[in-house]
Structure formats: C-alpha cells, structure tokens
Amino acid sequence: MKESALDRFIRYARIDTQSQDDSNTYPSTKKQFDLLNLLVQELQALGIQDASIDEYGYVMATVGENLPKGHPAARKVPTIGLIAHVDTSPSASGAGVNPQVLTYTGGDIVLPANPQVVIRAEENRDLAENIGKQIVTADGTTLLGADDKAGVAIIMTAVERLIASPTVLHGPIRIAFTPDEEVGNGTKYFDIKKFGTAAAYTLDGDSVGELNKETFSANSAIITVHGRNIHPGSAKGIMVNSLRTMADIIVRLPRYMAPETTEGYEPYIHPHQMEGEEAKTVLRILLRDFNTAGLNIQEEILRRIVADVQPLHPKARIELQIKESYRNMRDSLEKDPRVLDCLWEATRRTGLEPSWVPIRGGTDGSRLTESGLPTPNIFTGGHNYHGPTEWLAVEGMEKSIETVMQLAQVWVEKALT
C-alpha cells in the first residue's frame, strides 16, 4: 500500500479540526474544511471520480461494485456505507497536535511535553494487551484526535486496499466524512437519500473487538440563573449573586448519578460547562440513560432541585430548559438482523472474539438510525477520548481495517442466501 493507516492518522491528527459549541455557522468552525477538502482530493487521487464535498462539509464518495459479470450476487448486494467524523472535541486543544509513536513496554506513560500528564496503566486495562506493540499518544499539551481521525484513517486505508485488491469481492460501498459530531450536530444536514445505502457503519469506537449497537438516549439541560449586580461596596440588600444560587443547585445534583460513579448501563446527570458572574450564570448538563423513559425521571430530578433552591434565593430567577439530543439506536437496529449479523461475522473472521458493548455516549449512528438508516459502530483502537491522555493502539486500527474488508465480503455472501 502507498501509505499505512498509522502514517495517515499522524498526518490527519496534525490538522486542527476542533469544533465549537454554540457556533452560528455550519460547520461550527471553518478549519474543519482543511481536512474535509484534503480527503476529497485523496479520494479522487485513488480514482474515485464521484468524491465530492457540499456546502455543509459532508464528503461523500463511492467504491463501486467489483463483482464479475455473471456472479450470482451481482447487482443483488445492497449498498453499505462507512462513516467517520473529522472534528475533535472542544474539551481540549486540537492545535499543534504532536503525535508520539512508541513501542509500549509496560507501566505508566509520562508524556514528554508535560510530565504532569500521565497515562496510568491501572486506569487503562487495554494497555496490557499492547505490551511490545506500537501505540500513539499526544505529547501532553493537546488531545490526540483518535476520536475520530483514527476512523477516518481506517476508512481511507480500507478504500485504498479494496481498490488495490480485485479478488476481494464487494458490492457498492459509500463513504462519508462528517463535521461537528463532537458538538452533537454531525448529521444535522446529512442527506440520507443522497447517501443511498441500505445500512451504514460508523468507525468511531474504542477497544479492539468491541462492537456497538446500543447508545445512551440523551437530552441536554440548561439552567440559567438571573441575578442582579451592583458594586460590592454598596450591595447589602440589593445584590442578587447568581453564582451563589447556582452553587446551591450544583451541590444538590445526585452524586450516585454522575459519570465518575457509574458504569455499564447506569444513567448519569453530568454538569459539564458553566459560565457566569453575579448577574447571570448558565450551567449546561448532560442527561443520559439507556432507557429513554429514564430521561423523564432525570428531568423531574432537576425540576425538584430548582423548586427547592428557588425559595432560598427569592430575588433570583431560575430557568430550566430541556433539549432532545439523540436516542438509543438498539430497538431500530434489531429490526434488520442482517446489519448486525454481518458485522459480527466480519469481526470474527479477523481472528477476534467480538462483543457487543453499550456506548456510554453517542455517535452519528444514533441519529442516523433514528432517522431510518441502521448504523451500528465499529472499534478503532482509540482510548481516553477528549483529553491529553488519549492514546491509540496501532494494532486496533489494523484489525478495524480487516473488519471492514471482511464486512464487504460478508454482505456479498449474505446476498446469496
């Protein structure tokens, strides 16, 4: 192959594509186009003539069917899609990413540009599976961007290998790269009809062999406290400090229902961003539950907290707003067993023991599935997303590429049954 998945990933990781909350543009940052436009050029260089980008930044392309004339599955294999997002999280800097490639020998990893940032073995069980193998980290000053540039590199490498391997028989495969997934808008203008697939797969997972058909159902809550500011020297009986009111709200959020105290299928209420001063404070909260009905319970918890705090600060005005984000894709995915069966079999054929693991988060696949396009998720080998301790298993990327290659072939076989 002309370029390895690792080399591709390093190139992509160095391009700043961080998205931005509360932007008035789409994509939320223009710099995402730097990578999106590059991907169009690289797809065209591979000979894909229909590779294109639209005004919203969606890149789409087609790897055509290569079944020989007379093959019993010719023109019977449904079109499938492969999707990854180019943006990185607003939670940590994506500028000046300096990937570090090392052979892991065990123990903790102290990152070179900031020794205070340590990837701890006790917190990363998958590190033990990579002793003697290559991994990639950032240098301690930025995130790495494996979420989801690892997925982008996997798809691009798989496309190149499919084109270069005529004996690997496959039906039509559509490719899509999206912006703004990290700020919840990855599919806002995604044209499912134009994409034209029967099913799709996002390359946006983590541990090797883990497959995802379940995500949280998600809402977001915004609590706004309106106070009144005045010079503190003459504030008695006049100032209404919104920060104090918000502090009383935060301290009442249930500790048993927080990301740091929950795992598996347990729900959480997560205050993740706050801006404020005396006159106005805004708190943003993530509401997550695998059971969609549980979101109503979480909303009621917040409403009770607001009701309890309001009498303590009678001059403050407290507002609570709930917004729908995405829904668990499990129920819709299970309506067409082929989509999941083909993925399971493809992963098994790489020599891995696949497992279905719930995502304590969401992907573009959550909304696409809800909109009628079944889209489960495939591992990439990345870990510790959204922060400077992020790392990527190179073997995980390679196994993901193998899974994609096998997936294309399994769909051909499924068309014959």
Q: Which domains does the chain have, with CATH numbers?
A: 5-215+328-415 (3.40.630.10), 217-325 (3.30.70.360)
Q: Tell me, what DSSP letter sits at residue 234?
A: G
Give the tokens for residue 373.
């396009």
Q: Tell me, what DSSP letter sits at residue 68?
A: P
Q: What is the pLDDT of residue 119?
A: 98
Spatial neighbors of 359 by CB under 8 A, at least 6 apart, are: 205, 212, 214, 215, 216, 377
Q: Looking up tokens 């009498």, which residue turns up?
A: 311
Give the tokens for residue 200.
């799709």
Q: What is the pLDDT of residue 272?
A: 94
The candidate with the shortest Cα–Cα distance to 93, out of 38, 145, 26, is 145
Name the burial class of residue 409, with classes exposed (0-12), middle (13-18) and buried (19+) by CB atoms within 10 angstroms of its CB. middle
Alpha-carbon span 67 to 232, nearest angstrom? 77
- DSSP states along 23-43: -SSSSS-TTHHHHHHHHHHHH
The candidate with the shortest Cα–Cα distance to 53, out of 81, 27, 80, is 27
Q: What is the pLDDT of residue 2?
A: 80
Angle at 217 between CA 330 and CA 258, to 5 degrees: 125
Stated pTM of the model? 0.90
Q: What is the pLDDT of residue 227?
A: 98
Q: What is the pLDDT of residue 335?
A: 87
Give the tokens for residue 175.
């490719």
End-to-end Cα, the chain, rounded Å: 33
Spatial neighbors of 55 by CB under 8 A, at least 6 apart, are: none
Q: In the 3-class helix/strand/coil scheme, how is 143-198 assigned residue by residue?
A: CCCHHHHHHHHHHHHHHHHHHHCCCCCCCCEEEEEECCHHHCCCCCCCCHHHHCCC
Q: What is the pLDDT of residue 111?
A: 98
Alpha-carbon span 361 to 39, nearest angstrom? 27
Q: Tell me, what DSSP letter sits at residue 407?
A: H
Residues carrying an active site annotation: 87, 181
Q: What is the pLDDT of residue 255?
A: 96
Q: In tens digits, what is the pLDDT along the chain, a chain of 417 residues? A: 489 999 999 999 999 999 998 899 999 999 999 999 999 999 999 999 999 999 999 999 999 999 999 899 988 999 999 999 999 999 999 999 999 999 999 999 999 999 999 999 999 999 999 999 999 999 999 999 999 999 999 999 999 999 999 999 999 999 999 999 999 899 999 999 999 999 999 999 999 999 999 999 999 999 999 999 999 999 999 999 999 999 999 999 999 999 999 999 999 999 999 999 999 999 999 999 999 999 999 999 999 999 999 999 999 999 999 999 889 999 889 888 999 999 999 999 999 999 999 999 888 999 999 999 999 999 999 999 999 999 999 999 999 999 999 999 999 999 988
Q: What is the CA radius of gyration of the chain?
A: 23
321-353: string of b/e by CB count within 10 Å (b at 16+)?
ebeebbbbbbebbeeeebbbebbbbbbebbebe
